[in-house]
Structure 1
Amino acid sequence: MLNAVENAPESATSKIGTAYLHNLCKAGNLFTAVRLLQLLCDKNIFLGPSAYNIILVAASEKNDIAILSQVFKDLIVSCQSLPSTSYLKLARGFVKTDDDVQLLRLVKEVSEMTFPSNLMVVNRIIFAFAECGQFDKALLIFEQMENLKCKPDLVTYNTVLDLLGHAGRIDEMLCEFASMKEAGIHPDFISYNTLLNQLRKVGRLDLCSVYFQDMVESGIEPDLLTYTALIGSFGQSGNIEESLRLFNEMKTKQIRPSIYIYRSLIASLKKMGKVELAMNLLEEMNASMSNLARPKDFKRTRK
């Protein structure tokens, strides 16, 4: 197999090598698949992350953490920048195991291998575990960062805030938000929007006002996502006047409303018996449908 890949035309090298790996994994011969990859790397033949992903998936299915870990480390060495799919496949490989010792050992080894850019790698590992719903494992890695010679940064905290919010662990989310400020890391619009959205979802509407005020005092401009959360929060609490004030404020700032904001306001107005005003907003929404904010407008690039 090694000779076949090595002697193949350059244009066919990856295809032939990947086919061998696929067949080996399908036959359950993961050890040989790993060895083939390593021998090819020794000869400066790199098949690409997709080839490694084949073995990562096969190792996950067999719950073979040893091979999963080894292949991921080999991939880290062979590739300067991994695609997010590789991190996700690594995280999924730990779904069936509660062996935190192996997980932390792997993260420590990867961190040492990628120094001084290890913070970015560890952040992506934490994010991948959070994306797979493995919140406890993601938090475990976060809590061990002091031992990895890399301190959490804004990206780390934003990831942790988001996963705690999605897990419904609101008090812990607020605690970590306070911790990041104590550590001298200034929250950005992503941090505040995460808090506002999660607080709204669990009905902690009083705190929405508190953190919005903190956001404004910090000099961070509210965006579409901010206004969406706030208008919904005040509407839920019955403070429709404040919802309408914020709605007009965002339009003054030339932030295009979304259909979600209109629907939220219309529902709140109807609930409070302000049917005429609700119908006026409905007409306004229908008339400006082509100019409403789209899902892509909810994303804002960090400067």
Structure 2
Amino acid sequence: MNRSLVNEILLKSISQSAFKIHHLSKSTLSSLQTLPDSRTNSFLNPLYNFLPNTQNPSKIVDNICTNLKERRSTLLDKGMIPHLGNQEVSRVLLRCQSDSFAALTFFNWVRNGTGVVPTIRNYCLMLHILAWSHNLPQTMKLLSELIELNRNKSEKVSIFEILVLCTKECIWEPVVFDMLLKAYLKAGLVWDGFVTFRKMVKLGFVPKIVSINFLLDGLLKLDQIDECWGIYEEMRKIGVRANTITFNILTHVICKSGDVDKVNEFLDKMEEEGFDPDIVTYNTLIDSYVRNGRLKDGLYLYNIMYIRHVMPDLITHTSLINGLCREGNVREAHKLFHRMIQIGLYPDVFSYNTLICGYINKGMMQEARTLLHDMIREGVPPNEFTCLVLIEGYRKKNMLISAVNLIVELQKFGVSVCRDLQIDLVVALCRVDKPFAAKSLWERMVQDGKEAHKLEIYNELIVSFCISSYVNEAIQLKDEMFFKNIKPSLITYRTIIECLSRLNRTTEGEVFMRDMVEFGIQPDTTICRSLIAGHCKEKNLNQAESLLSFFAEEFQVCDNECYNELFKVLCEEGDIGKSMEFQNRMQKFGFTPNCLSFKYAIDGLSRRTACGDAFIDE
């Protein structure tokens, strides 16, 4: 934009709006532009004129400027620093406008060595000087610093408006406003950048297309769709010509808004502007069509690309393969996959994964496994997602052994399988009563140094072995835990004791119970019931009574179910006197007969009476 025109517009804007803003917000901005400083009032003292110039506070600006001009390292006598205020900082900067090096040297000295905190106005003057001298890297650095300072203030001010006000008294370049827009976007303050853009346009400044593209991209990520189109309209009004990047961003805007019907209209407008859609444009549109379930439109654009001599790339084909697989047309997807290879494109892991997922969703595990072999043969290493979808595919079809074989096969090829994925498979095998396969996979993990969640996995294996009545294998795992310094839990012992009791090895189960007590783990009611039930089933009645007393005395476990289990067996033997003696002994430990106990006693008496009557009849 012509500089004289900018000056003319700016002077009118300042007199009509910016100057008005200055007066309306004078009380607000004063603390940021010219902080009240009692030190400046001392300059009125006429006695200072009798001091040497280097010690006269009235000459502080002159002294600093002289020392800056002569490139002296000491800018001011230490005794004069308390008399330096923000007004003096501004005056020095204005005196050094033509020497940006001197101005920046002074500004850094103020910030780092005087205790004076520069105001927003001080910063803006320095920014104008740097921009005018074309020191753009330093300008951007200082802008970023100023934005952070303003962000942390309780009462934020408009940096843009203060920059405008400063143009009345210093040299300046319009580029500083464009850089302010970039700095806001760099700091992640997209909305502040948008407000700055609007103010720039209103005052006649024309942002560069690069800055506008950054702003459009930021607004797109915030889903500010309407604002994106508003900026595009403003661009046309102020004469900023869009480029390919602009149109590609706006293509994303169209796709994100979901209004894919506007695509053809937008492409026509793009061509009217003199730009041909490139590969990014087509890929964005095709991906949007696929995600919105409009695969036919995506395939139509795919064919248009060839007509317009835009060669589809890997992303194009992967998007369409994904769309075909989502519609269940995995055979056509595989044909497109082969066509991609025929035109010289090499599938990557994402392309393979997309097609593998398509086959798995159709339950075609053999075809998916073949693709896995193909990718390994072609030197494309499977990633964690590849392993995940294949193993999940086998799990859905209840082919867990095949999943284990797949892991073994992958490891032979040098493919690392995620530890958590293997642990999940170990647990899944345990819960479908395949403990030996689970143990085999777990042992392979241990050999590879992947022993995470050890106690939980051992418990899962022990439970699975015990459910399948392989208690010896479960005991072996428990012993292995001791060897590896893994403390068994209540679940570990309870599972083994229940299994031993169920397999008529209750005495061994009791040994385990006493072992766990010595190990500091208190048995619970479930263990008590299992052992009492086991002894009763094996007719070890004395051991059962002894154990019942032990639980009551040692752990205060007085479980009526355990009591009734033993009382029932005694009653069934028909010796009522023995049953009553047992009842009296147990009452001393806190056991109280209930209605079920009396039922067992009555049943026992009935059987005895029936047996007696039968004997008399004979």
- TM-score scaled to structure 2, two decimals? 0.38
SS in 2 for 1:187: coil
Equivalent residue number for residue 42 of structure 1: 174
Query: Is residue 192–residue 212 contact of structure 1 (8 Å, CA) maintained in 2?
Result: yes
Task: Give the aligned residue type for 2:241.
Answer: M
Distance 1:188 1:69 in 2: 39
Equivalent residue number for residue 257 of structure 2: 134
Larger radius of gyration: 2
Distance 1:149 1:37 in 2: 40
Equivalent residue number for residue 185 of structure 1: 310
Equivalent residue number for residue 297 of structure 2: 172
Alignment of 1:28-107 (within 5 A): 29=158, 32=161, 35=164, 40-42=172-174, 47=179, 50-53=182-185, 56-58=190-192, 60=194, 66-67=198-199, 74-76=206-208, 86-91=215-220, 95=224, 97=226, 100=229, 102=230, 104-106=232-234
Query: Is residue 111–residue 122 contact of structure 1 (8 Å, CA) maintained in 2?
Result: no
State the identity %.
19
Equivalent residue number for residue 245 of structure 1: 370
Partner deviation per Cα, 1:225-284 (whole Å, 9 max, x = no partner): 111111111122122222122111111111111122222222323444544322111334
How far residue 94 of structure 1 moved from its aligned partner, in angstroms, is: 7.4
Structure 1 pair 96–251 and aligned structure 2 pair: CA distance change class (3 A): closer
Task: Give the aligned residue type for 1:113.
Answer: R
How far residue 192 of structure 1 moved from its aligned partner, in angstroms, is: 0.4
Greater relative contact order (Cα 8 A, min sep 6): structure 1 or 2?
1
Distance 2:288 2:206 in 1: 29
Distance 2:250 2:303 in 1: 23
Equivalent residue number for residue 127 of structure 2: 5
Which shows bigger deviation, 87-96 or 180-189? Answer: 87-96
How far residue 155 of structure 1 moved from its aligned partner, in angstroms, is: 1.9
Distance 1:166 1:151 in 2: 24
Distance 2:373 2:316 in 1: 24
Structure 1 pair 151–111 and aligned structure 2 pair: CA distance change class (3 A): farther
How far residue 210 of structure 1 moved from its aligned partner, in angstroms, is: 3.4
Equivalent residue number for residue 343 of structure 2: 218
Partner deviation per Cα, 1:117-154 (whole Å, 9 max, x = no partner): x2244324434x379x3343894644521221101011
Distance 2:300 2:362 in 1: 24
How far residue 187 of structure 1 moved from its aligned partner, in angstroms, is: 0.8
Structure 1 pair 110–125 and aligned structure 2 pair: CA distance change class (3 A): farther
Distance 2:286 2:299 in 1: 8
Structure 1 pair 215–92 and aligned structure 2 pair: CA distance change class (3 A): closer
Partner deviation per Cα, 1:35-81 (whole Å, 9 max, x = no partner): 47998533779746642527752265x7x98448779x94425xxx6
Unaligned runs of 5+ residues in structure 1 are 293-303
SS in 2 for 1:207: helix
Task: Give the aligned residue type for 2:226.
Answer: T
Structure 1 pair 200–5 and aligned structure 2 pair: CA distance change class (3 A): same
Query: Is residue 270–residue 278 contact of structure 1 (8 Å, CA) maintained in 2?
Result: yes
Query: Is residue 57–residue 93 contact of structure 1 (8 Å, CA) maintained in 2?
Result: no
Structure 1 pair 134–265 and aligned structure 2 pair: CA distance change class (3 A): same
Structure 1 pair 110–174 and aligned structure 2 pair: CA distance change class (3 A): farther
Query: Is residue 140–residue 179 contact of structure 2 (8 Å, CA) maintained in 1?
Result: yes
Between the two proteins, the alignment pairs up a number of residues equal to 280
Distance 1:258 1:177 in 2: 29
Unaligned runs of 5+ residues in structure 2 are 1-120, 419-618
Structure 1 pair 282–112 and aligned structure 2 pair: CA distance change class (3 A): same
Query: Is residue 290–residue 298 contact of structure 2 (8 Å, CA) maintained in 1?
Result: yes
Structure 1 pair 242–34 and aligned structure 2 pair: CA distance change class (3 A): farther
Distance 1:176 1:229 in 2: 20
Distance 2:352 2:316 in 1: 14
Distance 1:173 1:192 in 2: 11
1:261 to 383, 386, 411: 386
- TM-score scaled to structure 1, two decimals? 0.69
SS in 2 for 1:113: coil
Distance 1:103 1:7 in 2: 30
Runs of 4+ in 1 over 6 A off after TM superposition: 8-12, 36-39, 43-46, 68-71
- Aligned-pair RMSD on alpha carbons? 4.4
